[in-house]
Amino acid sequence: MFAASVLPEKVVKELGNGFAEHPVGAGAFRLKEWRREEVVKLERNPNYWEAGLPKLDAVEWYKIVDDNTRILKVQAGELDAAIFIPFNRLTELKADPKLDVHLDLSTREDHLDLNHENKWLAKKNVREALAMAIDRDAIIKVVTFGVGTPANSYLPTGMLYYNPDNKVAPYDPEQAKKLLAAEGASGITLELVHEAGDKTNEQLAVLLQAQLAKVGVTLKLRTVDPAQTIPTLVDGTYEVSPVYWTNDVIDPDEKTTFALGMDSNNNFWSRYKNKDAADLVAKARTEGDDAKRRAIYDQLQKIAADDVVMIDLYNSPYRNISRKGVTGFYQNPLGRFDLENAEIK
């Protein structure tokens, strides 16, 4: 796991909590400068254990929130690479002779977080109605430009024990209207929070607004600064929000615990509470028999779908670009950039 590293005991003890500001590790690069929310500058570690690596003398990571700005800086040669490229720019950028477009296999799954403490979202029928009002195929076509694939589970495709046959609420606007009416929720208004500068989520928000309007649900849009997105979810001061996940390890326990385990993150900030599900999460974590463990995760995926803990939208590859001449720029399925072999020809 990326967060597990070999560290110098003496320095960790001397610095205490300050170690996070002045880390010392055994990786290919070491920290030179860090300006929060702006840039992390790394330099080659001359003591790295593998001879001849890393190939780069330094790496600088800049935080540039606006998608267009990141892309323009790469095209202008101010940056060598950029990540989180919007779907709607991929075709255009593939045609740029100065660039390479990278669609790397991922464990990314995009979904809508629902705050179960909201008066309406606390009702299962209302959550199911919202899921039935959302056309995943249209989202994949319009928002991901056909690059994504429909998500039918909180576990991403390719994840250990992912169930391709898991059933989620089908697209059925008429049934959605009936469920809303039965709960006295016809004509309700909900607020969707999404972060500024993310063109993909901006497109998603507008499309969701139009789809939900067809079943009588008004979706108001609130844009927040990216630095405030997670605090807003953690605080519970939201109703609906697009969220994505990528795994840190290939085992399903990590995301399952986060989504259903009733731990301190309030079940992916949804506030969903189900002790039976949480008990199954704990059981799956320690089950040694492969077939029995798979059966438990099948059951957990079914519970999450039946209760509409979240609304699963789509799976997609990582979308990055680099300038021609940059080699070894690769994001592995767990989201890591192993830059030891990266170089600029």
Tell me the CATH number at 173. 3.10.105.10
Task: Give a yes or no: residue 85 inside a domain.
Answer: yes
Given a cut of 90, is residue 262 above it in pLDDT? no
CATH (domain of 93): 3.40.190.10
Mean pLDDT of 257-268: 88
Give yes or no: residues 262 and 192 share one domain. Answer: yes
Query: Which pLDDT score is estimated for 318?
Result: 95
Q: Is the pLDDT of residue 160 over 80?
A: yes
Indicate whether 3 belongs to any domain.
no
Domain range spanning residue 305?
Answer: 106-316
Same domain, 149 and 62: no
Q: Is the pLDDT of residue 319 over 80?
A: yes
Residues 152 and 163 in one domain: yes
HSE-CB of 251 using CA atoms within 13 angstroms: 12
**Model confidence at 36: pLDDT above 80:** yes
Residue spans of beta strands (DSSP E) within the chain = 29-35, 39-44, 58-62, 81-82, 99-114, 149-150, 189-195, 218-224, 240-245, 310-323, 326-327, 343-344
Q: What is the model's pLDDT at position 230?
A: 92
Are residues 339 and 198 located together in one domain of the fold? Answer: no
Q: Provide φ and ψ at 325, rounded to 5°.
A: 100, -15
Answer yes or no: do 329 and 229 share one domain: no
Note whether 252 and 268 are same-domain residues. Answer: yes
Contact indicator for 42, 60 with CB cutoff of 8 Å:
yes
Average pLDDT, the chain: 95
* Digit-coded pLDDT (tens) for 3-30: 778 899 999 999 999 998 899 988 999 9
Beta strands 310-323 and 218-224 are unpaired
- Specify if 142 maps to a domain: yes
- What's the CA gap between 72 and 85, in Å, rounded? 11
Q: At residue 102, what is the residue type?
A: H
Q: Are residues 188 and 271 in the same domain?
A: yes
2 belongs to a structural domain: no
pLDDT value of residue 199? 83
Token look-up 């009936």 returns 178
Cα distance between residue 51 and residue 10, in whole Å: 26
Cα–Cα distance measured from residue 285 to residue 155, given in angstroms and rounded to the nearest whole number: 15
Whole-number percent of the chain with pLDDT over 90: 88
Residues 171 and 250 in one domain: yes
Strands 29-35 and 39-44: antiparallel
As a whole number of Å, the CA-based R_g of the chain is 22
Domain count for the chain: 2
Question: Do residue 194 and residue 310 come from a single domain?
Answer: yes
Q: Are residues 225 and 296 in the same domain?
A: yes
Q: Does residue 60 surpass a pLDDT of 90?
A: yes
* pLDDT of the residue at 186: 97
Residues 158 and 23 in one domain: no
Question: Is residue 4 included in any domain, yes or no?
Answer: no
Q: Concatenate the DSSP letters of all residues of 219-238 into one string.
A: EEEEEE-HHHHHHHHHHT--
Is 226 a residue whose pLDDT tops 90? no
Give per-residue pLDDT as tens, 113-126.
Answer: 999 999 999 999 99
Domain membership flag for residue 158: yes
Residues of the chain with pLDDT > 70, as a percent, come to 99
Asked whether residue 54 is domain-assigned, the answer is yes
* 75 falls within a domain: yes
- Give the pLDDT confidence score for residue 250 in this predicted structure: 87
**What residues are paired with 99 via a beta bridge?**
323
Same domain, 55 and 122: no
- What's the pLDDT at 4? 79
